[in-house]
Amino acid sequence: MAIEKGTLYLCATPVGNLGDMTKRVRDTLESVDIIAAEDTRNTLKLLNHFNIQNRLTSYHEHNKYDKADLLIKDLLEGKDIALVTDAGTPAISDPGEVLVKKCIDEGIRVTSLPGPTAFVTALTLSGLSTRRFIFEGFLPSDKKERTAILEELADETRTIILYEAPHRLKETLQLLLDTLGNRKTALCRELTKVHEEILRFDLKSAAAYCEDTDPKGEFVLVIEGKDPSLLMEEERKKWEDISPSEHMKIYLSSGMDKKSAMKQVAKDRGVSKRDIYNLLVREDENEE
C-alpha cells in the first residue's frame, strides 16, 4: 500500500505583536510532525509563549538546498511539516521559496495559512498609492546587480516596496535618491509593536534624517512611483532631436506600413496623426 504524502504548511507568524498569531496557525504548529524554522531560538520563544511543544528543525538561508531535500524525504514518508520564518509569511524574501518549489516538483501538497506580512502592513500605513505596487524585497548586495535593479526602478510608476537592514539603510536611501530622484517615501519600523514608527518624508529628507539619527531595526521602505505624465514627457523628448520623416523611417524600415508608422510616431511625440501628416507635408515642401 502506497504511503500518503504529507503536507507542507506555510505558517505566517507575527511580525511583532503576538496578538496577531491566528488560532489556525497555533493549531497547526501543535499538530504537525515537524516545525521547520528559520531560527529555532526565535521560534522556540514563540512556541513557549503559546505553550506549544513540538519537534523543531532549522531551515535557513545557509542550508536551504540540502535541508530542503531532507524535508522532502520526510514529506514523502507521510510526515506533515509546518514552515515558519522569523517573522511574517514564509517564502517572502525567505528561503522557504526553495522548499515550496521542490514540493511542487514532487507532487507534495502545499498550503498557506495567511497572516501578518510586513510589506503589506507598511504599504497600507504609508499614505502612498496602494492601487498598484511592486515588491522588491532586499536589494542585492552585489553592486552591479543592485545598480541594474535600481535603474529598472527609475521609470517604475507603481509604488515600490523594499526591505532594508539598518546597517545599509543610509547607503540605500542615497542610492534611491540618486537613481529615482526626490520622491515621497515612508520608512516603517517596529511594525505592530508598541513603538511602531512610520516616518513619512521625501527621499532627500529621509537620507538626511538617517545621517543625523542613525536609526535602528529593520525597515520597510515604501517609495512613490514615478509620475506617469513625467515619464511620457521624457519619452517625447527622446524624439526631439530627429525630424518626423526620420522618425517615420525607423518604423517603415522595420516593416511597419505607412498608416501604422504615422500612428506610432504621433504617439511617441504626443501629438495627433493629423499633426504628423502636416509636418511631413511641410518637410516635403521644404525639400522641394
Q: What is the pLDDT of residues 206-264, one digit of tens each?
A: 999 998 888 888 999 999 999 988 877 777 777 777 777 778 777 777 887 877 777 88
- In this structure, are 123 and 97 located in the same domain? no
Greater model confidence, 175 or 233 = 175
- In this structure, are 111 and 33 located in the same domain? yes
Q: What percent of the chain has pLDDT over 90?
A: 73
- In this structure, are 16 and 106 located in the same domain? yes
Q: Is 181 helix (H, G, I), strand (E, B) or coil?
A: coil
Greater model confidence, 86 or 256 = 86
Quick check: is 28 in a domain? yes
Over residues 173-196, the mean pLDDT reads: 95
pLDDT value for 90: 95
- In this structure, are 128 and 205 located in the same domain? yes
Q: Summarize pLDDT for 27-64 with one digit per residue, the tens.
A: 999 999 999 999 999 999 999 999 999 999 999 999 99
Asked if residue 180 has pLDDT above 80, the reply is yes
pLDDT value for 100: 97
- In this structure, are 144 and 214 located in the same domain? yes
Quick check: is 2 in a domain? no
Quick check: is 108 in a domain? yes
Q: How is 213-261 classified by DSSP, letter by letter?
A: H---S-EEEEEPPPPHHHHHHHHHHTTTTS-HHHHHHHHHHTT--HHHH
Which residue in the block uniquely carries the three cell numbers 505566517? 12
- In this structure, are 129 and 167 located in the same domain? yes
Over residues 75-92, the mean pLDDT reads: 96
pLDDT value for 239: 75
Q: Which residue from 208, 160, 200 is spatially nearest to 180, judged by alpha carbons?
A: 160
Split into its structural domains, the chain has a count of 3
- In this structure, are 105 and 160 located in the same domain? no
- In this structure, are 41 and 106 located in the same domain? yes
Quick check: is 1 in a domain? no
pLDDT value for 181: 94
